[in-house]
Structure 1
Amino acid sequence: MSEPMSAGKFQQVLVGAGLTVVGVGEWRTHNRNHKGPWGPVNGVMVHHTASRGSAATVRICRDGYAALPGPLCHGVITKDGHVHLVGYGRTNHAGGGDGDVLAAVIAEKALPPDNEHDVDGNRHFYGFECENLGDGDDPWPEVQLDAIARAAAAICRQHGWTERSVIGHREWQPGKIDPVGFTMAAMRERVRAHLK
């Protein structure tokens, strides 16, 4: 359990992980903090966007849409492995999820099945939306998978967390399927390797 990094520190740790980081507009102050608290933070959540085209994906994740205002994450990781920062603070990415999963993330233990919808995840997780259709056919380039792992590991290192603090949306909220196309167990192994 930690206080969130400042926006500047967040950017710094991502750049320090060897990532290409692109700030989009006034990302440092673009958030949903008026809807509730941001923090304490407990982990990193990975999503797929179910969209195609980097520019359109970044725009959607920054601005949101009528039913779900943006920002929809903190960073968008596009197919080329670039991390586009679209918001900082509370963002609309995690939604409600399972309190038992949150407890396991905090304890850094194996995750239980997500079968409840009783905790506000937007308060507790850094979120990365990753450009992919999520249909099981759209490929995940190695440079993108590596960027996801590097970004998650950089945040974990800063907060003193292990790879067990990195989860997929599908592990948090009943009914969610993302990310599709790789397993979170494999992604956590990548994160662990970077943390070494």
Structure 2
Amino acid sequence: MAEPLTADRFIAALLAEGVRVQEHPGWRNHNRNHKGPFGPVHGVMVHHTVSSGSASSVELCRAGYPSLPGPLCHGVIDKAGIVHLIGYGRTNHAGGGDIDTLNAVRAEEYGLRPPVPDTGNTDGVDGNRHFYGWECVNLGDGKDPWTEEQLDAIERASAAVCRAHGWTAKSVIGHLEWSDDKVDPRGFTMASMRDRVEARLGKTPTKPPTTPAPPPAAKYEPYPGKAHFMTGTKPALGKVWSGFTQMGNRLIAKGFGRFYKVGVGPKLGQADVLAYEAYQRSLGYSGDAATWPPGPTTWNKLQVPNS
């Protein structure tokens, strides 16, 4: 049984292991803790994103989907070997899994791999509570190559968490070893990755901690999530956010200024809602898909300047 590391200890452990880290805004408090506890923790889980591109994959895992809100992991590991920290606490990465796997990982007693799971995401035990999660940028088709920089980062990041908790490499598993309806990560074996982690844990880290890379300068306002635009089931009219001013200016630039009688401002108004819905219809959306609130696809296409 282990209490989760604090965010400060977590990043310190990564840096001490020589991991190249990039912190993204708000990662320390971006979590799903309101949906359930995080901890006790028993291991690290590795996934592939089924996506390509570093920036888009990071944003996908940070924001999530309407049906699966972000964050979808603690860190996104790109092909250059950079670990992008996007969340900390409970994250939507593991879902349900096999209790026998959990017990084997907790005890760190199994052979080449944990017991083959016979339960999955919908009928298994809560893995989001018990595992740290890495989402690794890869299409997951068995053809998209894994770079050595990326594999090295998975090894280092996983070893860092294990070292901080006093765990062995048997605390590092893949999603496919946790849930019977998952195949990730695809393209390398978790047994080979555990061998790498075990070898690293047998050595004293020699690379000194480095200053975390600054977050990338965001040119556009990242999608803040559906709840940001709503009060319950209704638009959050009257809510003040500088991003609403920038959003209104972009909608006017796109040709939807007819809805604004008194200009735009930081307070969300009915004009903003109507203009945005018209903008969504102009992109081919209809019905519920064209109604408020904004979704990540239309928001990103609007390119609202960072306020």
TM-score under structure 1 length normalisation:
0.99
Residue 114 of structure 1 aligns with an amino acid whose one-letter code is P
Quote the Cα distance in structure 1 between the aligned partners of 2:24 and 2:99.
32
Quote the Cα distance in structure 1 between the aligned partners of 2:19 and 2:169.
18
Quote the Cα distance in structure 2 between the aligned partners of 1:154 and 1:66.
32
- Identify the residue that residue 115 of structure 1 maps to in structure 2: 118
* Residue 135 (structure 2) pairs with residue 129 (structure 1): yes
| Partner secondary structure for residue 76 of structure 2 | strand
- Identify the residue that residue 42 of structure 2 maps to in structure 1: 42
Alignment map for 1:81-92 (pairs within 5 Å): 81-92=81-92
* Structure 2 unaligned spans of 5+: 203-307
Deviation at 1:88, TM superposition (A): 0.1
* Residue 187 (structure 2) pairs with residue 184 (structure 1): no
More strand by share: 1
Identity of aligned residues (%): 65
* Residue 201 (structure 2) pairs with residue 195 (structure 1): yes
Offset from partner CA, 1:125-161 (integer Å, 9 cap, x none): 0000000000011000001001001000010011010
- Identify the residue that residue 68 of structure 1 maps to in structure 2: 68
TM-score under structure 2 length normalisation:
0.63
- Identify the residue that residue 96 of structure 1 maps to in structure 2: 96
- Identify the residue that residue 154 of structure 1 maps to in structure 2: 160
| Partner secondary structure for residue 56 of structure 1 | helix
Quote the Cα distance in structure 1 between the aligned partners of 2:23 and 2:63.
14
Structure having greater relative contact order (Cα 8 Å, sep ≥ 6): 1
| Partner secondary structure for residue 45 of structure 1 | strand
Quote the Cα distance in structure 1 between the aligned partners of 2:189 and 2:20.
24
Offset from partner CA, 1:69-89 (integer Å, 9 cap, x none): 000000000000000000000
Equivalent of residue 144 in structure 1, options 139, 150, 155? 150
Quote the Cα distance in structure 1 between the aligned partners of 2:63 and 2:25.
11
Alignment map for 1:2-21 (pairs within 5 Å): 2-21=2-21
* Structure exhibiting the larger radius of gyration computed from Cα positions: 2
Deviation at 1:118, TM superposition (A): 2.6
Following TM superposition, the consecutive aligned residue runs of length 4 or more in structure 1 with deviations greater than 4 angstroms are none
Deviation at 1:25, TM superposition (A): 0.9
Offset from partner CA, 1:84-128 (integer Å, 9 cap, x none): 000000000000000000000011012111002331000000000
Residue 179 of structure 2 aligns with an amino acid whose one-letter code is Q
Offset from partner CA, 1:11-51 (integer Å, 9 cap, x none): 11101111110111100000000000000000000000000
- Identify the residue that residue 52 of structure 2 maps to in structure 1: 52
| Partner secondary structure for residue 132 of structure 1 | coil
Quote the Cα distance in structure 2 between the aligned partners of 1:160 and 1:10.
13
